[in-house]
Structure 1
Amino acid sequence: MRTPADERLEVMIGERDIQERVAQLGRRITLDYEGKDLVLVAILKGSFVFVADLARAIDLPVAVDFMAVSSYGMSTKSSGVVRIVKDLDYSLDQKHVLVVEDIVDTGLTLNYIFGHLKSRGAMSVKICSLLDKVGRRQVAVPVHYKGFEIPDEFVVGYGLDVEERYRNLKDVCRVVKI
């Protein structure tokens, strides 16, 4: 992929590894939610690729809804102030909710979302994240289904971006400034 002259991409997690892990997560979620009314709540924008692949890997009827929150603004670091930009379209009452996130970093945003969704009548709320930066955690959040634990590096691809670029990469990559 073409990059600006001052950037280079290095693959951190390749497409094949991502697809294998998504399939594993799908099988485990299928077993855990057999016979339950499951709603996948995808956190936009970063999780859109992951939730599409994950939903197809789950061998159950699932509903999918989307929520957009903002805590970053135009920065690459969370401000800690969470604002709901797009709320859910459907009720969570008496449903089992699986929050699908691209990456858990400080935990501030996800902690807010977790509490907010629990208060809306869901029977259960669990979290599934493609990436987890445990070393950056400021607030303990329970990540029930985890794709990959990664070091504290800025990554793009597979839905993650920098200034809206690189979401379409099939791999998760580091952006290296040259």
Structure 2
Amino acid sequence: MQTLPGERLEVLLSARDIQARVEQLGRRITLDYQDKSLVLIGILKGSFVFVADLARAIDLPLAVDFMAVSSYGHATKSSGVVRILKDLDYSLDGKHVIVVEDIVDTGLTLNYIYGHVRSRGAMSVKICALLDKPARRQVAVPVHYKGFEIPDEFVVGYGLDVDERYRNLSDVCRLVRS
């Protein structure tokens, strides 16, 4: 893929490895949620690719909703201030919910979302994250379904971006700036 001058991409997780892991997560969630009313809540924009693939890997009837929050703006580090840009469209009363996130970094944003969703009447709330970056964690959040643990590097691809670029990559890549 073309990059901007002074940027290069290094593959951290290949599309093949990601798809294999998403299928494993889908099988596990299918087993865990037999005979339950399941809702996946994708956190926009970064999780949209992961949510689509994960939903297809889960062999159960389910609903999908989305929230959009902001704590990054145009920066590459979280500000810690969370703003809800788009809230849920549907009631969670009596539903089992899995919050689907692209990456858990400091935990600040996800901790806020987790509390917000729990307050909406769900029977249970669990978190599924494609990527977990524990070296940056400031707040403990329970990640019940984890794709990959990664080092403290800025990554793009498979829905993750920098200034809205690189979301369309099939791989997860390190963004290296010179």
Query: Secondary structure at the residue paired with 1:73?
Result: coil
Post-superposition offset of 1:75: 1.2
Instruction: Indicate yes or no: 2:38 matched with 1:38.
Output: yes
Post-superposition offset of 1:80: 1.0
Aligned partner of 2:7: which letter?
Answer: E
**Separation of aligned partners in 2, 1:9 and 1:80:** 27
Unaligned runs of 5+ in 1: none
| Alignment correspondent of 2:57 | 57
**Separation of aligned partners in 2, 1:7 and 1:76:** 14
| Alignment correspondent of 1:76 | 76
Aligned partner of 1:87: which letter?
Answer: D
Aligned partner of 1:5: which letter?
Answer: P
Aligned partner of 1:36: which letter?
Answer: K
| Alignment correspondent of 1:119 | 119
Q: CA RMSD of the aligned region, Å?
A: 0.5
The normalised TM-score by structure 2 is: 0.99
**Separation of aligned partners in 1, 2:174 and 2:79:** 22
How far does the alpha carbon of each residue in 1:143-163 deviate from its partner, in whole angstroms, 9 at most, with x for none? 000000000000000000000
| Alignment correspondent of 2:135 | 135
| Alignment correspondent of 2:169 | 169
**Separation of aligned partners in 2, 1:51 and 1:98:** 11
| Alignment correspondent of 2:145 | 145
Where do 4+ consecutive residues of structure 1 move more than 2 Å? none
Post-superposition offset of 1:115: 0.6
**Separation of aligned partners in 1, 2:18 and 2:10:** 15
**Separation of aligned partners in 1, 2:74 and 2:163:** 8
Query: Secondary structure at the residue paired with 1:17?
Result: helix
Post-superposition offset of 1:72: 1.1
Aligned residues: 178
| Alignment correspondent of 2:104 | 104
Post-superposition offset of 1:125: 0.3
| Alignment correspondent of 2:10 | 10
Post-superposition offset of 1:4: 1.1
**Separation of aligned partners in 2, 1:111 and 1:4:** 34
Give percent identity, aligned residues only: 82
Aligned partner of 1:72: which letter?
Answer: Y
Aligned partner of 1:92: which letter?
Answer: L
Unaligned runs of 5+ in 2: none
Query: Secondary structure at the residue paired with 1:106?
Result: coil
Post-superposition offset of 1:76: 1.2
**Separation of aligned partners in 1, 2:132 and 2:100:** 12
